[in-house]
Structures are given as structure tokens and as C-alpha cells.
């Protein structure tokens, strides 16, 4: 089965991104396909490479980056939600005249159309949120 | 844009200004309209407050986006399911909601109400009938 995943809450405050991660890992292990993971609302904050959780806690962004690398996952951060919350890739930082960017490896920034497209193409769209 | 037509339901559960969910849900609905899918919106729990008349956000410094719901018909978003029990539990009736209409192109562009009042049981059926449910 082809799954599309929505993550709509931020890391650490909510368990949503952990549950999504565990679901994606389990689905892939069972031989399913995950066509895209779309990060929306505060979920975009999962994609910052500047978070420094305590060493004895799980490293949410690093887990996603590693999983994306291993399985060639498409991790998409919504641009409109990201701009509000200070998530920028290099292109966007340059374009907006900002002095830094913070997107982690394995994530990309794109539009809401990617969410709708994912819903159309996936057999099941599963939301992890509040 | 795509040949596949799926039934999309956007479920609105939160009051309009305490959190960003309502506003960012509307952004998805407006972008999604370009994809020519079969779109419905559901309003339940505190989400029914999103459609109330007379919203005034001046004093809280937030953008009043309530007029956008009246424009949804122009985006061919014409099915707004409102849960009866959610209204009643909050002391609201249909009269407290904005008048939201669309022009029915199959009926000489007659103006028809977009809001469809459904019971909780009927809302469950609406949900069961969908291909993609996005919850906000």
C-alpha cells in the first residue's frame, strides 16, 4: 500500500512526529511504500537542524534525516507554514534577505500543492496531529 | 491538473483565533481548490465557531479571515457540513452562522446555501464516504 503522511504538530511538545516516525518505519519494514511525509502547522519545526535535544533524549530531526537517507523518503516542509515559524532553506534565506538558514539534510521546502498531490496519489493519507 | 478525482474532506474542529489551525486549514482548502477534486468541509466541536457571524478581531490584533468562508463558493467549494450537536452544545443555532451561498451552475446559477446541517451520526457517514480526510 502507498501511504502519504501528514505531521501537524511540532517535535517534543507533541508526540505526533514520534508516532509518525514509528508508523513510517513500521510501514516500510512491512514492505509498504511511503510516497511523502508532509510537515504542516508546527510540524515544520521537525526540520530544523539547529535543535539540540539532551543527549539521553531521542534526536527527532536526526532520526528523520537518517530514515529519509535510508529509504529515499520525500520529506516536505510547507513553505507558508515554515515562513511564519522561521524555517528557511538557503534559497529562501537569500531571497528574503535573511542571514541564516536552518533546514536539515533530507528535508525540502515546497508548497501546499504537495499535500493535495500526496492525497491524490496515496492509497491512504494518515495524519499525525493533536 | 490531475485526472484522478478523489473525495477530500477538511475537518475543522477548533475555534478560529485561539490557534492557527482554522486559518491554515483555509489555506489548504484554497490551494486544494486548484486540483479539481470533490471537496467538502466539516465543522464540529469548537470548529462551528469558525462560521459565526459578526466576528471582530480588531482588539486582539489577528486577521479576521471569516469573510473567506463566504468566498468558498467561487472556488467551487460548496459543501460545508455543520454538526447539529456541536452547535447545540455551544448554545448556537444556524441563525448564528454566516449566510454562505454558492451559485449552482447546473441550475441557472441559482444561489443555494452551502451550509448543510447534519447530525453526529450523519457526519460519521459523510466521513466514511471520503477518500482523504485532513483534520485540523
Task: Kindly determine whether residue A112 and residue B27, on different chains, have CB atoms separated by under 8 Å.
Answer: yes
Residue of chain B with shortest Cα separation from A121: B4
pLDDT digits (tens, 9 = 90+) for B20-71: 999 999 999 999 999 999 999 999 999 999 999 999 999 999 999 999 999 9
Task: Kindly determine whether residue A112 and residue B134, on different chains, have CB atoms separated by under 8 Å.
Answer: no
**To the nearest whole angstrom, how far is the Cα of A119 from the nearest Cα of chain B?**
6
Closest Cβ–Cβ partner in A40, A41, A120 for B37: A120
Measured over all CA atoms, what is the biggest interatomic distance in chain A, rounded to whole angstroms? 45
Question: A29: helix, coil or strand?
Answer: helix
Report the C-alpha gap between A17 and A23 in whole angstroms. Answer: 10
Task: Kindly determine whether residue B35 and residue A40, on different chains, have CB atoms separated by under 8 Å.
Answer: no
pLDDT digits (tens, 9 = 90+) for B61-85: 999 999 999 999 999 999 999 999 9
Across all residues in chain B, what is the average pLDDT? 96
Structural domains in chain B plus CATH codes: 7-135 (3.40.1260.10)
> What is the number of domains present in chain A?
1
pLDDT digits (tens, 9 = 90+) for A67-123: 999 999 999 999 999 999 999 999 999 999 999 999 999 999 999 999 999 999 999
Strand partners, A22: none
Task: Kindly determine whether residue B20 and residue A41, on different chains, have CB atoms separated by under 8 Å.
Answer: yes
Element (H, E) at B120: helix B120-128
Cell numbers for A2, please give them: 502507498
Cell numbers for A124, please give them: 491512504
**To the nearest whole angstrom, how far is the Cα of A38 from the nearest Cα of chain B?**
12
Question: B133: helix, coil or strand?
Answer: strand
- For A69, the domain range is 2-128
**To the nearest whole angstrom, how far is the Cα of B83 from the nearest Cα of chain A?**
20
Helical H runs in chain B?
Answer: 21-32, 67-71, 84-89, 120-128
pLDDT above 80: residue B103: yes
- The whole-number pLDDT of residue B4 equals 80
Question: A107: helix, coil or strand?
Answer: strand
Q: Which residue in this structure is represented by grid cell 477548533?
A: B14
Q: Which residue in this structure is represented by grid cell 477530500?
A: B8
Which residues in chain A touch residue B8, judged by CB atoms under 8 angstroms apart? 116, 119
Helical H runs in A30-124?
Answer: 60-71, 79-85, 90-96, 113-121
B38 and B71 in contact (C-beta within 8 Å)? Answer: no
Residue of chain A with shortest Cα separation from B13: A130
Element (H, E) at B29: helix B21-32
Q: How many residues does chain B have?
A: 136
Report the C-alpha gap between B118 and B124 in whole angstroms. Answer: 10
A13 and A126 in contact (C-beta within 8 Å)? Answer: no
Grade residue A39 by pLDDT with cuts at 50, 70 and 90. Answer: very high
Interface probe, candidates A41, A76, A114, A120, chain B, greatest B C-beta count within 10 A: A120
Nearest 5 degrees, angle CA A75-CA A124-CA B114? 105
The CATH number of the domain holding residue A11 is 3.40.1260.10
Grade residue B2 by pLDDT with cuts at 50, 70 and 90. Answer: low
Cα B4 to chain centroid distance, Å, stands at 23
**Beta-sheet pairing, A75-78 with A107-110:** parallel
Residue of chain A with shortest Cα separation from B25: A41
Question: A129: helix, coil or strand?
Answer: coil
Amino acid at each position: 500500500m502507498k501511504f502519504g503522511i501528514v505531521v501537524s504538530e511540532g517535535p517534543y511538545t507533541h508526540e505526533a512526529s514520534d508516532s509518525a516516525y514509528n508508523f513510517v518505519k513500521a510501514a516500510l519494514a512491512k514492505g509498504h511504500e511511503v510516497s511523502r511525509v508532509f510537515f504542516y502547522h508546527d510540524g515544520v519545526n521537525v526540520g530544523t537542524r539547529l535543535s539540540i535535544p539532551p543527549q539521553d533524549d531521542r534526536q527527532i530531526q536526526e532520526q528523520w534525516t537518517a530514515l529519509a537517507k535510508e529509504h529515499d523518503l520525500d520529506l516536505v516542509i510547507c513553505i507558508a507554514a515554515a515562513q511564519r515559524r522561521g524555517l528557511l532553506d538557503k534559497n529562501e534565506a537569500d531571497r528574503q534577505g535573511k542571514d541564516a538558514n536552518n533546514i536539515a539534510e533530507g528535508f525540502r521546502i515546497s508548497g501546499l500543492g504537495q499535500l493535495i498531490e500526496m492525497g491524490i496519489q496515496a492509497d491512504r493519507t494518515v495524519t499525525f496531529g493533536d | 491538473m490531475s485526472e484522478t478525482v478523489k473525495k477530500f474532506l477538511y475537518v475543522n474542529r477548533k475555534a478560529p483565533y485561539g490557534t492557527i489551525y482554522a486559518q491554515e486549514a483555509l489555506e489548504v482548502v484554497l490551494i486544494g481548490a486548484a486540483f479539481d477534486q470533490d471537496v467538502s468541509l466539516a465543522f464540529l466541536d469548537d470548529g462551528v465557531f469558525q462560521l459565526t457571524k459578526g466576528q471582530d478581531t480588531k482588539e486582539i490584533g489577528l486577521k479576521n479571515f471569516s469573510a473567506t468562508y463566504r468566498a468558498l463558493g467561487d472556488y467551487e467549494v460548496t459543501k460545508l457540513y455543520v454538526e447539529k450537536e456541536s452547535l447545540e452544545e455551544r448554545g448556537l443555532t444556524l441563525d448564528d452562522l454566516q449566510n454562505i451561498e454558492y451559485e449552482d451552475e447546473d441550475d441557472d446559477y441559482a444561489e443555494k446555501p452551502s451550509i448543510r446541517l447534519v447530525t453526529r451520526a450523519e457526519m460519521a457517514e459523510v466521513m466514511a464516504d471520503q477518500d482523504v480526510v485532513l483534520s485540523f
